[in-house]
A and B are shown apart, each in its own frame.
Chain A
């Protein structure tokens, strides 16, 4: 690692208030994704801004000095590699910006800084009778904002109207150093002005004729640095019944789930294969589990006739299950009610649930439609099997999104962290699988290594357009250089 130039260090330090520039290897190592599948770029240092002004100062400095800024919001350990520079870079660690700026019970919205974690926000909104839409077992220390910016799928498809959900308005520092607020937060006026008038930063669209939040979301920090966001909250149920359905036939269960989502029945809805269920529940042996389990909850909230609601939904759902020749079980087989509830509402214990199974994992996820899942799952399992992995090494998780119109399909291969051969095999399996399922209709809406190349090779027109937008919002290419399709050379925005 090259030493950080003293003068640059001083400037960085000045940008963030005279301190908080970390160069220590052990600290910098924390930003590296475990088992990252490609060679990492060098981390020069990590800086920890605590305000919008400091973030702007960092961007301005980066433009002057040609630095590569890699924004990071979640706490270590990091898994996916979003925090990991592709090119020599400076980590902009936003985890210190951890204020819950505002919680609005009536409008069911919270305004949070990037460092606010799921646990912290849940703690804050729980006493107000609200809950945070969450992905499945987010890692401890996971930033709410980072998760939503990355389009992590949330567990309740009914509340996922659009791909931006549950993200609403944002404040962004573009690569130009300009600050821009999206949605109805755009202005006029300060946040305080807006609050005084009853506005609550609820409208995610705009302002005017662009939705720049959509450009920043999914950009892995390549288009802007988000310094706060408003996020949707939901009511905390006063009654919640967790149910499951187990079947040899995934197709059958998918049909059942589609009907539920079409009618907006049920809250959380997800599918876990035997391995994923065991991993998620923190169990070792998956052999007793059926091939797939559909887990879903039915809930009722205060002031919403909760008993009546749960009763009608359970009756309707049972009718639908009968149509599909399925039987609804209370809870999840072999699991106490508390564990089942925690599966749907808590963060992962440490170590992270996928890692806990064998010490290391390699994942692959895509977006597809429910009807395509069985074929894609067969494809990937076949490839992984041919790479020498046992059946119980691979977990499959299907999370319907967009109210059931599509789903997040995730595979994770668990292996012994100390086994280099398995590591390589897992890496190859993911690589090969990505190519195969892409041809079968999988869509890599969240392109991480090692499938980022596969994702962008399929859509050269999208790459061309993204480069133009990048050229506008980050003309000096100071934001997470080298990530996604912005890889220099032919892109025209190269490092």
Chain B
């Protein structure tokens, strides 16, 4: 099935990390291969690594990388490791599990910066920085994800992006083990000047670390990162009982939680723009009403979804809602934000519901929203979800994206290729006072259902086509087929990625499967008419030069 590592190479790995921190037992290696999330393949096992190592320091990571260079092996690092993108794509990959590197190196309260190692998860960092009156951006995927991985290697948007931006833009100083085993410090740590900046001297090498997407472990190993922290006027900790759904941790006094509803898209968008102009809001998410039923009461939803009238009542009468959390350091500030929000909602013909006044809702949303735990309940309906990963652009384009993908999804739902979630299942957030936005359409499936798995690749291709029609490079461009399709239409970006990769990785030891490798669509899975449409789109939207 998989190639095996030579005794000599394995011994060298053991020497690098210590015998107890290296492994080549097949079943244990397989525990790194079961990766159903963001896995477009019908086989949910990803390529088995030939060994797994657990380095405890950046120096040990360097040693492992050197061993890979010396023995013609590839490597791929993972932090918290959720998703198929963490796994190897080649058959000679040493998986570097960074779990032992889990220190919070520093919390610089004055300058609102934390320095962390890869395995610190978002929930841990938030718990610590709250004690300093600060907060950390937690990605929408949840608090179990590594902030370092998000900032250096993955996507990184979240409910708090309106206030705390996105992971890639929160990255400051970086410690990076390059594919040749050399160490590179980006920005200030490179000049022994602290961790407060990752750019310079001169050109910023953050430019090769990542873009909208990261290199997904295909370009060295990031061993420390400094991240921005943000104001948190709330308590050091919020006492919470229960397990998410029966949670009792309420909203802190410094916050107000509103659900605002609009019946027309243009009103929703206008309200979102104005919220951005007013610079209010700590979290902002667009989810339709039925999504809450789906998350919280999947069994009820299963019945409701069969009743069009009820679904329409839920989703179409007030089709454009957003949740917004207002946080103020003083009562004055909070009051201003609240007045401003209500004014905007009124001006835009919407309706604002204050959840603080509804204890069950406040209890449920308190910790679950602040720590971003509620969204994990999306697993409850189908067991698995995926999302079409769009790009980021002006707010208007993001609602369009949602509508487009809703239509694409519907066809699969009708043919039994996906679970019926009512189709309209958006997750839209905004960045930096609504400077721009991001929208995904969630789809639900059961990874144990072969029919569902068969849908994933064609639906992924539909997403690519929709992205081209939208003139946008989707976040999904980390996936080889999407990358191959998009690159020529967007300045041949993969040419530059490949050339930079080659410059730093002459021996090709990084697993570049999700960074630079290319793959044509599988004609067995993509209908001919879609391929024809693709060709037409290429001609229509391709740029010369």
Asked if A and B touch directly (CB within 8 angstroms), the answer is yes
Q: Which residues of A are in contact with B by a Cβ distance under 8 Å?
A: 56, 106-108, 151, 158, 161-164, 178-181, 184, 186-190, 193-194, 197-200, 202-203, 205-220, 222-223, 232, 235, 258, 262-264, 301, 303-305, 308-309, 312, 315-316, 319, 367-371, 402-406, 438, 441-447, 452, 455-456, 458-459, 461-462, 464-466, 468-469, 471-473, 484-485
Besides the contacts A188-B468, A465-B205, what 13 more A-B pairs have beta carbons closer than 8 Å? A106-B273, A179-B545, A198-B397, A206-B473, A210-B497, A213-B207, A214-B199, A222-B202, A232-B435, A263-B231, A455-B202, A469-B203, A472-B500
Of B211, B228, B397, B545, the residue contacting A208 (CB under 8 A) is B211
A459 / chain B contacts, CB cutoff of 8 Å = 185, 190-191, 201
B207 to chain A, nearest CB (A): 3
Of A215, A312, A319, A404, the residue contacting B203 (CB under 8 A) is A215
Q: Closest 8 interchain pairs by CB?
A: A214-B207, A206-B212, A445-B200, A188-B489, A188-B541, A206-B211, A189-B471, A202-B436
Of B190, B394, B471, B499, the residue contacting A472 (CB under 8 A) is B499
A180 / chain B contacts, CB cutoff of 8 Å = 491, 493, 496
Q: Is the CB of B165 within 8 A of A161?
A: yes
Interface centre among A194, A198, A441 (most CB of B within 10 A): A198
B240 / chain A contacts, CB cutoff of 8 Å = none
B472 at the A interface (CB under 8 A): yes
B279 at the A interface (CB under 8 A): yes
| Chain B positions 368 through 383: 1 when the CB is less than 8 Å from some CB of chain A, otherwise 0 | 0000000000000000
Given that A193-B471, A369-B196 are contacting pairs, would A208 and B202 also be in contact in the complex, using a CB cutoff of 8 Å?
no
Q: Is the CB of A370 within 8 A of B279?
A: no
B537 / chain A contacts, CB cutoff of 8 Å = 188
Interface centre among A162, A179, A209 (most CB of B within 10 A): A209
**A189 and chain B: residue at smallest CB distance:** B471
**B185 and chain A: residue at smallest CB distance:** A461
Q: Is the CB of B473 within 8 A of A405?
A: no
A319 to chain B, nearest CB (A): 8
Q: Is the CB of B111 within 8 A of A371?
A: yes
- In the complex, 8 of the A-B residue pairs with CB atoms within 8 angstroms, ordered by the A residue number, are A203-B212, A209-B211, A209-B215, A369-B196, A452-B201, A458-B190, A484-B202, A485-B201
B448 at the A interface (CB under 8 A): no
Given that A443-B200, A445-B187, A461-B184 are contacting pairs, would A212 and B207 also be in contact in the complex, using a CB cutoff of 8 Å?
yes
Interface centre among A188, A443, A447, A456 (most CB of B within 10 A): A188
A368 / chain B contacts, CB cutoff of 8 Å = 193, 196
B542 at the A interface (CB under 8 A): yes
B493 / chain A contacts, CB cutoff of 8 Å = 180, 186, 206-210
Q: Is the CB of A187 within 8 A of B191?
A: no
Assembled-state Cα–Cα distance A441/B199 (Å) = 15
Q: Is the CB of A443 within 8 A of B188?
A: yes
Of A187, A220, A312, A455, the residue contacting B473 (CB under 8 A) is A187
Of A211, A304, A371, the residue contacting B340 (CB under 8 A) is A304
**B226 and chain A: residue at smallest CB distance:** A405
Assembled-state Cα–Cα distance A11/B472 (Å) = 38
B137 to chain A, nearest CB (A): 11
Q: Is the CB of B473 within 8 A of A162?
A: no
Of B201, B210, B332, the residue contacting A315 (CB under 8 A) is B332
Interface of B is mostly: mixed
Q: Is the CB of A210 within 8 A of B211?
A: yes
Q: Is the CB of A207 within 8 A of B473?
A: yes
B402 at the A interface (CB under 8 A): no
Of B182, B213, B542, the residue contacting A188 (CB under 8 A) is B542
Assembled-state Cα–Cα distance A338/B231 (Å) = 33
A200 / chain B contacts, CB cutoff of 8 Å = 393-394, 436
Q: Is the CB of A208 within 8 A of B486?
A: yes
B11 to chain A, nearest CB (A): 30
Given that A264-B231, A405-B113, A459-B191 are contacting pairs, would A209 and B478 also be in contact in the complex, using a CB cutoff of 8 Å?
yes
Assembled-state Cα–Cα distance A469/B397 (Å) = 34
**A485 and chain B: residue at smallest CB distance:** B202
Given that A215-B204, A262-B231 are contacting pairs, would A189 and B212 also be in contact in the complex, using a CB cutoff of 8 Å?
no
Q: Is the CB of B330 within 8 A of A262?
A: no
Of A213, A232, A406, A469, the residue contacting B196 (CB under 8 A) is A406
B503 at the A interface (CB under 8 A): yes
A316 / chain B contacts, CB cutoff of 8 Å = 329-330, 332-333
Q: Is the CB of A184 within 8 A of B391?
A: yes
Assembled-state Cα–Cα distance A120/B216 (Å) = 43
A186 / chain B contacts, CB cutoff of 8 Å = 473, 490-491, 493
Assembled-state Cα–Cα distance A218/B206 (Å) = 12
Chain B, range 400-426, C-beta contacts under 8 Å to A = 400
B273 / chain A contacts, CB cutoff of 8 Å = 106
A158 / chain B contacts, CB cutoff of 8 Å = 279
A214 / chain B contacts, CB cutoff of 8 Å = 199, 203-207
Q: Is the CB of A445 within 8 A of B491?
A: no
Of B197, B208, B343, B542, the residue contacting A163 (CB under 8 A) is B197
A181 / chain B contacts, CB cutoff of 8 Å = 490-491
B209 to chain A, nearest CB (A): 8
Q: Is the CB of A188 within 8 A of B471?
A: yes
B261 at the A interface (CB under 8 A): no
Given that A208-B477, A210-B497, A444-B201 are contacting pairs, would A461 and B489 also be in contact in the complex, using a CB cutoff of 8 Å?
no
B335 at the A interface (CB under 8 A): yes
Assembled-state Cα–Cα distance A225/B344 (Å) = 42
Given that A188-B471, A305-B343 are contacting pairs, would A312 and B332 also be in contact in the complex, using a CB cutoff of 8 Å?
yes
B492 / chain A contacts, CB cutoff of 8 Å = 178
Q: Is the CB of B471 within 8 A of A458?
A: no
Q: Is the CB of A462 within 8 A of B190?
A: yes
Q: Is the CB of A210 within 8 A of B207?
A: yes
B74 / chain A contacts, CB cutoff of 8 Å = none
Assembled-state Cα–Cα distance A462/B209 (Å) = 13
**B196 and chain A: residue at smallest CB distance:** A406
**B515 and chain A: residue at smallest CB distance:** A209
Q: Is the CB of B487 within 8 A of A208?
A: yes
**B469 and chain A: residue at smallest CB distance:** A197
Q: Is the CB of B503 within 8 A of A472?
A: yes
